[in-house]
């Protein structure tokens, strides 16, 4: 499982969330909404430090990660995090692997 953070998504997280080197961002499954591959669930995120990591990538000193507790949500997919200019928020793509 891989996590890809596009340059535009990185800029959004740094500017809007105020991330700095040493911060962590956890991606998780949350009830409500939908994704390309899930009905009734969407991707949530929280600023927190990694503990029990399933997958991670570091960009500009920030660790973007998925916790092992969320394996059920991401299993079988890589996660690409991009930025939607029209909605002015991150957009998440699930890439089957």
For residue range 8-43, list pLDDT tens digits in order.
999 999 999 999 899 999 999 876 665 666 666 678
For residues 89 and 50, is the Cβ–Cβ distance under 8 A? no
For residues 73 and 29, is the Cβ–Cβ distance under 8 A? yes
pLDDT (tens digit, 9 = 90+) per residue, 45-96? 999 999 999 999 999 999 999 999 999 889 999 999 999 999 999 999 999 9
> Which neighbouring-strand residues pair with 72?
none
What is the CB neighbour count within 10 angstroms for residue 3?
21
pLDDT (0 to 100) of residue 83: 97
For the chain, what are the domain ranges?
Answer: 3-96
What CATH class does 3-96 carry?
Answer: mainly beta
pLDDT (0 to 100) of residue 72: 87
């Amino acid at each position: 499982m891989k996590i890809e953070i596009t340059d535009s998504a990185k800029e959004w997280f740094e500017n809007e969330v105020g991330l700095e080197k040493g911060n962590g961002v956890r991606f998780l499954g949350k009830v409500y909404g939908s994704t390309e591959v899930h009905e009734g669930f969407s991707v949530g995120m929280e600023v927190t430090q990694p503990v029990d990591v399933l997958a991670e990538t570091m960009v500009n000193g920030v660790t973007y990660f998925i916790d092992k507790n969320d394996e059920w949500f991401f299993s079988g997919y890589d996660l690409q995090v991009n930025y939607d200019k029209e909605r002015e928020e991150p957009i998440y793509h699930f890439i089957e692997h």
